[in-house]
Structure 1
Amino acid sequence: MGGNRAQLAYVIVYVPDVDKAAEFYSKAFGLEIRPQNKTRSWVEMETGATTLAFTPVKQHETDLIGGVPSSGSGHNNIEINLDFPDVDAAYQHAVSQGATPVAEPEDKTWAQKVSYVKDIYGNRVRLGSFVAMPS
């Protein structure tokens, strides 16, 4: 596409309560909450180059573009991947803050440690170690 290449700007997760989701991600994963707008219809988390954002499941704007189908169960095809220097500590901390354990930290054959939890709405969160890129 030449000079018109896409760049990932946001990962948006539709949740019943944006404030509750943001508070959980702040406590469980140490993400900083960015200042939110006055309508409480959007919360952004500081994650580095790409923003993690929460918006209500029934966000009015999404209705204008055909709506976002949701079963409300939190079982969807999204996986949030967060990297940590110490996956064991991150996993234990997340679980102590209310994350549901799915898979304890495990050393993978590709030289990475990985674990999985679910957030308070049932979304899958992968906690992994940083992968060094070949130079």
Structure 2
Amino acid sequence: MGGAQLAYVIVYVQDVNKAADFYSKAFGLQIRPQNKTNSWVEMETGTTTLAFTPAKQREAQLIGGVSSSDEGHHNVEICLDFPDVERAYKHAIDQGASPVAGPEDKVWQQKVCYVKDINGNVVRLGSFVAK
């Protein structure tokens, strides 16, 4: 066994197309047109796909349901890297994201800030880190 690769991060939302349109406008992600339906939308994000699916569906019930992010509990943080974090932060807020924490330099040589998307999910915007 071995060689596993992260393929998807799936976010449960009320309206998949509204979520995808927001991520397209606020963060510049491209919607994969062949997958845009009312029950599934995929975004181009590099090697791992970010996808949106309805909170109320059979698969969500299999895992015991999903909690709403407006309950104040956040189990997942979506992290996106940008060449200009300050610009990405301002643009996301201009497109309807809620500010959480403004850009700051971290000790691990990355600039990071936080916003909430239109569904209340935490999104971290960071600079690229040398590998």
TM-score, length-scaled by structure 1: 0.88
Report the Cα distance in structure 1 between the residues aligned to 2:102 and 2:34, rounded to whole angstroms.
Answer: 33
Residue equivalent to 2:129: 131
**Percent of aligned pairs sharing the same letter:** 73
Structure 2: which amino acid aligns with 1:14?
A: Y
Q: Does the Cα contact within 8 Å between 1:87 and 1:127 map onto a contact in 2?
A: yes
What is the match of residue 111 of structure 1? Answer: 109
Gaps of 5+ in 1: none
Instruction: Give the aligned residue type for 2:18.
Output: K
User: 2:39·2:54 contact (CA, 8 Å) conserved in 1?
Assistant: yes
In 1, the alpha carbon distance for the partners of 2:63 and 2:123 equals 27
Once the 2 structures are TM-superposed, how far is the Cα of residue 38 of structure 1 from its aligned partner? 7.0
Q: Which amino acid aligns with 1:68?
A: G
Query: Segments of 4+ in structure 1 off by > 4 A?
Result: 36-39
More helix by share: 2
Select which of 60, 66, 70 maps to 1:69: 66
| Root-mean-square deviation (Å) | 1.7
Question: Structure 2: any 5+ residue segments left out of the alignment?
Answer: none
How far does residue 61 in structure 1 lie from its aligned partner after superposition?
3.6
* Count, aligned residues: 130
Q: Distance in 1 between matches of 2:74 and 2:22?
A: 19
> Which has the higher Rg, Structure 1 or Structure 2?
1
Matched AA of 2:80:
L
Sort the Cα spacing of 1:72 and 1:111 in 2 relative to 1 into closer, same or farther, 3 A: closer
| Match for residue 54 of structure 1 among 46, 52, 55 | 52
Query: How big is the shift at 1:60?
Result: 2.8
- Report if the CA contact (8 A) 2:17-2:37 is conserved: no
TM-score normalised per structure 2: 0.91
C-alpha distance after superposition, 1:94-135 (max 9, x if no partner): 0000000001010111111000000001100000000001xx
* Equivalent pair of 1:15/1:54 in contact (CA under 8 Å): yes
